[in-house]
Chain A
Amino acid sequence: MLVAVAVIVALLLSIGLVLLFSARRWTPNEDSVVEQINRILPQTQCGQCDYPGCRPYAEAIASGEADINQCPPGGEAGVKALADLLGREPRPLDTSHGETKPPVVAIIDEDRCIGCKLCIQACPVDAIVGAPKMMHTVIADACTGCELCLPPCPVDCIDLIPRRRPFIWPVKEMDVETGSASKTTQRERDHA
């Protein structure tokens, strides 16, 4: 009887030790989860998710504070990718944070710009260059189209134009049953 109890206790202790050790040794790295979430986010840094950038939002998702459907630029595809990564159910985009729009870039009307520097301070990716009382300009390649430079501009000289996208060959297929184009992937071409 005593021997049996001793054996069971010893067994439990050793299993407990192994579990304790492996829990210390192989904890899921919090950082790597944030990193993986951040890689899926579109890096627009627009703050529509109510967090000041994509990485803070990724941290909030990882800690369970924010939901996965708060990113309008990422769209439904982004929500789905996040759901796949985190093993959750995909859900429709929360439109209270905004709607998914085609990508845009900001452009400054250089005649109207007064060089106040407010947009430079607002830009989350340093995509606006300029000096005080000199006109500013947007580095189009670096602009994410986050629209954060619009509200601070006192003379309303910043416009958003569609971002130039590469040509994608359209597919037009006639459907057997309906005789109409069933799957038309023609996209309006914006070769600005």
Chain B
Amino acid sequence: MHELDVGEQLYRFPGGLKLRHHKQIACRDELIRPDMPEALYLPLQQHQGPAGERVVDPGDRVLKGQPLTRARHDREVPVHAPTSGTIRAIKSWPVSWPPDSEAECLVLEPDGQEIWFETDALTNWREAEPAELVERIKSAGLAGLGGAMFPTAAKLRGDWPHVHTLILNGSECEPYISCDEMLMRERPDAIVEGGLILARALGARRVIVAIEDQMGAVEKSLSSALAEHDPDGLCRIVEVTTIYPEGGEKQLVQVLTGAEVPHDGLPQHLGLACLNVGTAAATRDAVIDGKPLIERIVTVSGPGVAHPRNLITLLGTPVADLLRAAGGAHDDTERLVLGGPMSGLPLASDRIPIAKGSNCILVLRHQDTRREQPVMPCINCGECVRVCPASLLPQELYKYLRADEHDEADSLNLFDCIECGCCAHVCPSHIPLVDWYRHGKGVLRERGIEDARAQQARLRFEAREKRIAEEKQQRRRKREQREARLQSGTEARSEVQAAIERARSRAAGSDEDGDR
């Protein structure tokens, strides 16, 4: 039987919703850069994983692209200076995650000169070793630009069998978000070149660029880029039907291959790696130009903003500067959302800076936010089950979480929930289901941490008990030996003699030392 290539036949994932796109409003105007902000606020941790080690101090002058932190392993991602200037301070500043929180940020005051740090370009990447490519990607500070911010280097090498196909995810399915569409229109060459570099780093033989069937202009621009940069025909463009949340990694893999990513596994275990198209373009800049990740495209959209558009934004730019560049927000703006309307996070302040994973700022007016509808009891209608893309039982999860039965929810695979928001969207009782799942995951995670802590305390306590018992035993043995020696006559006498001599020599010693 002829073995089908990935993407040759398309499949469906369970559930999902057809939503109105609202994307075109932000794609009409060309990409521009907002004015240089007065100061850039750079969180040291802009990815999933621990922050790197800081290598600059307040008062230091830094050049554009200069590393500010250093990664010690693949899960750490360095942060670079988005422009040249002076590090003014390390300050606690509002950040997007966790909500309403502050984190240590480097405050960089731009000097407006845009002087580049030395760049180390690699022109003959087609001959480079995969390991070297991964090193370059790692030191350029790449993390998944689709929003999950997973360290790219950790995605490229790890403990899994051979990866044969690279999937470049260009199917951004959430309403309003159009930064990837803009990127595919404006920089198709960078995406194709970056994809080929990533494929070489992975050892993959094929590259699939997955786009949505309603992105008309994108298909054309990508095709011409393929003709130019892909002589071996490694890449293929696959158009997928737009159903939310098709852009989710697991859902896209299912659409392209028909296979489900295992519950406790990764796409890599199926021989697939899934990266965002933005990450591919950043890979190209990192390897071919030697430029680290210092900017990204951000969509500013929504009914509450005057001129919705896409902006090439330096990392660390406060949201307020973006809103200004998009013509400002309406007076009755009620909520700022990072991400899309379905799975986005509400922002507590417009001082929050753009980070590597910030794809969209959505501005909502009072009448757009969901009205405070009363939450009604669950009526078991099953709508949420029908739309769940992870084949979970949302209503059962909700019941268990409401009753604080977190273990039951865990056994119904709560952690497979991707928080897409489909269930809450269709719920006729207006139950904030996703809030409950996020809450339940948090409780279970904390419990895991507590269990690990208790385990450690138990081991330390037992080790201490053992040590104390041993010391006691030793002391007893010594005492017994001494008593035995003292009881036998000659031994005792020599023991006494030795003690007297010791005391004498000590007295003599202290005489020589003077009156110490």
Contacts and interface: CB of A to CB of B under 8 A. Distances in A.
A176 B464 contact: no
A187 B431 CA distance: 20
A183 B98 contact: no
A125 B463 CA distance: 8
Contacts of A168: 439, 442-443, 446
Interface in A150-189: 165-176, 179, 183, 185, 189
Given A125-B460, A167-B101, A183-B402, A174 B375 contact: yes
B101 A171 contact: no
B374 interface: yes
A53 interface: yes
B375 A173 contact: yes
B484 interface: no
Contacts of A175: 374-375
B491 interface: no
Interface string A45-75: 1000000011100000000000000000000
Interface residues of A, number: 33
Given A169-B435, A171-B436, A189-B101, A53 B442 contact: no
A173 B402 CA distance: 11
Most buried by A among B446, B449, B454: B454
A176 B376 CA distance: 6
Interface string B394-437: 00000000100000000000000000000000000001100110
Interface of A: 38, 41-45, 53-55, 124-127, 141-142, 144, 165-176, 179, 183, 185, 189, 191
A171 B404 CA distance: 12
Most buried by B among A38, A125, A126, A191: A125
Contacts of B456: 141-142
A176 B445 contact: no
A42 B439 contact: no
Given A173-B432, A174-B375, A45 B461 contact: yes
B98 A191 contact: yes
Contact of B457 (A44, A167, A172): A44
A175 B377 CA distance: 9
Contacts of B29: none
A125 B464 contact: yes
B473 interface: no
12 contacts: A41-B454, A43-B455, A43-B458, A54-B461, A125-B464, A165-B446, A166-B445, A167-B101, A170-B439, A171-B435, A174-B375, A185-B439
Contacts of B438: 169
B493 to A, nearest CB: 36
A166 B446 contact: yes
A38 B435 CA distance: 34
Contacts of A43: 453-455, 457-458, 461
Contacts of A54: 458, 461
A185 B443 CA distance: 11
Most buried by B among A43, A54, A141, A165: A43
A30 to B, nearest CB: 18
Given A43-B454, A173-B375, A124 B461 contact: yes
A144 B455 CA distance: 11
Most buried by B among A169, A172, A189: A169
Contacts of B441: 169
A125 B457 contact: yes
Contacts of A185: 439
Indicate the size class of the contact surface on chain B.
Answer: 35 or more
Contacts of B376: 176
Given A42-B454, A169-B435, A176-B377, A127 B460 contact: yes
Contacts of B462: 55
A149 B382 CA distance: 55
B464 A174 contact: no
A38 B454 CA distance: 10
Contacts of B465: 53
Interface string B375-388: 11100000000000
B36 to A, nearest CB: 31
Contacts of A124: 461, 464
B372 interface: yes
Contacts of A173: 375, 431-432
B100 interface: yes
Nearest to A176: B374
A156 B102 CA distance: 32
Contacts of A125: 457, 460-461, 464
Given A125-B464, A166-B449, 15 more contacts: A42-B450, A55-B461, A55-B462, A126-B463, A166-B445, A167-B98, A167-B442, A169-B435, A172-B435, A173-B431, A174-B375, A175-B374, A176-B374, A183-B402, A185-B439
Contacts of A144: 453, 457
Interface in B282-309: none
Nearest to A168: B442
Contacts of A44: 457
Contacts of B449: 166
A61 to B, nearest CB: 16
A166 B442 contact: yes
Nearest to A186: B439
Contact of A53 (B102, B436, B461): B461
Given A169-B438, A169-B442, A191-B98, A176 B375 contact: yes
Contacts of A171: 432, 435-436, 439
B470 to A, nearest CB: 14
Most buried by A among B436, B455, B463: B436
A165 B100 CA distance: 15
Contacts of B402: 183
A167 B431 CA distance: 22
Most buried by A among B102, B372, B456: B456
Contacts of B457: 43-45, 125, 142, 144
A141 B446 CA distance: 14
Interface string B90-122: 000000001111100000000000000000000
